[in-house]
Amino acid sequence: MSRVVAQGTFDILHPGHVHYLREAKAMGDQLHVIVARAANVTHKPDPIVSEPQRVEMVEALDPVDHARLGDPDDIFVPIEEIDPAVIALGHDQHHDIEKLEARLAERGIDCTVERVSGREPDEDELLSSGRIIDRILQERG
């Protein structure tokens, strides 16, 4: 059975998350999702939704077989425990594939890294937690 790992913040779920997780699931038999700890989210504003709630919401999505929080100190710990065949990156995730592959090799983790496609938004569709927040502030703030 081939396992796929997807990871992300998953702050406010939207169709872009579903697209990412569906494509990730198609890369193997089981999809394991690692939900980022709030303290480890350094590339964008802190998540609004709590860690347990983000895990619960992700785990409820149809493509997801298992969801868990990431390790607070070492992002590779859950990857070592899951032992995936593939790590699926979102189309807009900030990771450099070559650097990630080198770090995985240093840790003795034998898997491929693949990037999923982006989803083109329908008219007025919001595919970003940040854009959802901006729209709420604009219309209700």
Task: Name the average pLDDT for the chain.
Answer: 94
Q: Is the pLDDT of residue 110 over 90?
A: yes
- 9: phi then psi, degrees, rounded to nearest 5: -85, -45
What pLDDT shows up at residue 123?
A: 83
Q: Is the pLDDT of residue 97 over 90?
A: yes
84 is in an annotated binding site: no
Average pLDDT over residues 69-86: 96
Q: Which residues contact 10 (CB under 8 A, 6 or more apart)?
A: 17, 33, 35, 36, 54, 57, 58
Average pLDDT over residues 27-41: 95
Domain around 12:
3-140
Strands in the chain per DSSP E? 3-8, 30-35, 66-69, 86-89, 112-115
16 is in an annotated binding site: yes
CB atoms within 10 A of CB 24: 25
Q: Is the pLDDT of residue 95 over 90?
A: no
Q: Based on the structure, what is the number of domains in the chain?
A: 1
76 is in an annotated binding site: no
Average pLDDT over residues 127-139: 91
15 is in an annotated binding site: yes
| Three-state DSSP state, 33 | strand
The pLDDT confidence band at residue 114, using thresholds 50, 70 and 90, is very high
- What's the pLDDT tens digit per position in 44-70? 888 999 999 999 999 999 999 999 999
Strands in 46-120 per DSSP E? 66-69, 86-89, 112-115
Q: What is the CATH number of the domain that holds 53?
A: 3.40.50.620
Average pLDDT over residues 76-90: 97
62 is in an annotated binding site: no
Longest dimension (CA), the chain: 50
Q: Are 3 and 24 in contact (CB under 8 A)?
A: no
9 is in an annotated binding site: yes
- Its pTM stands at 0.93
The pLDDT confidence band at residue 43, using thresholds 50, 70 and 90, is confident
Q: Within a 13 Å sphere around the CA of 17, how many CA atoms are in the beta-carbon half?
A: 21
